[in-house]
Amino acid sequence: MRLEEEMRLEAVRRINSRGGCAPHLAISFDSHLFSIDTSRAPKAALQPDAYLITHAHSDHYGKSAMLSSRAVASMETARALEIRYDREYQGRTFRVGESILVDEVLIDTHPTGHTIGSNAFSWLTETGERVLVTGDVKDYRHLPKSDFLVMEATYGDPYDPSCIFDDDIAAFSEALDEGASFGAYAFGKAQRAVALIRAMGYRDEIGMDDKSLLLTSELSDHLDFRGLMRMIEHVSPERVLVYHPQGARAGLLAHHLQECGLDTTSLDCIDRFVR
């Protein structure tokens, strides 16, 4: 590999055994390859230097990556993965807010307020570019400035009214007053629902399944579209890659940011692949 190729900062995708793309992406920089929220590569495939796991939700593929010794996740995320999947976490852990050395790269970690133990990762390349990988975000206040921002777009559709949250809490309160049962994911929305119910003054028992109870201790949610735009303004990147979720929203947010004059691409536009 030529020196300029080794030094280039770019996103790559792994081709899986079925000929499609493995989930999400990897970041190639200097002589390193960090996989982001993806499944483990087969033994015969090119191995990343690290599997960075931003949080324990199933659509970020920690269930697979947690079985690698190269997995990197917060202590809370590792424990949440063990509770959810009845597997032993095999990788490295850290406390959110700590800096860790991974493959001779110093990585800073930042809380994102999305779930228990959720965090962003940031690091500096040898050419001085600041990389920030957010995972899913509810609170962006602790995120640092960056040159290359790798971000989510779960509620990033600028044309969809459901991506603006103004009316959600009022509707939830009305349903609670009438007496209701709420369906929610065991890790994430269940914690958000309990926090809202308590904030509205309800002090009686709340019934839930065992795993939800083990995982319930703090708020979980995403930023809406306007919050994502404020996060981008806060981070002030030169380039943006929208890597999550699958489907149209990543591309829609990327298109909107392009129209705003920001150099942006989305997951489905990545044109470098590895096996």
118, 215 Cβ separation under 8 angstroms = no
Rounded CA-CA distance 70/34 in Å is 10
Neighbours of 262 (CB within 10 A): 15
The pLDDT tens digits of the residues spanning 43-73 come to 999 999 999 999 999 999 999 999 999 999 9
For the chain, give every domain's residue range.
7-157+224-274, 165-215
Rounded CA-CA distance 231/132 in Å is 12
- Assigned CATH class of 7-157+224-274: alpha beta
pTM: 0.83
**Mean per-residue pLDDT, 223-249:** 96
The pLDDT tens digits of the residues spanning 125-170 come to 999 999 999 999 999 999 999 999 999 999 999 999 888 886 556 6
Q: What is the DSSP letter of 138?
A: S
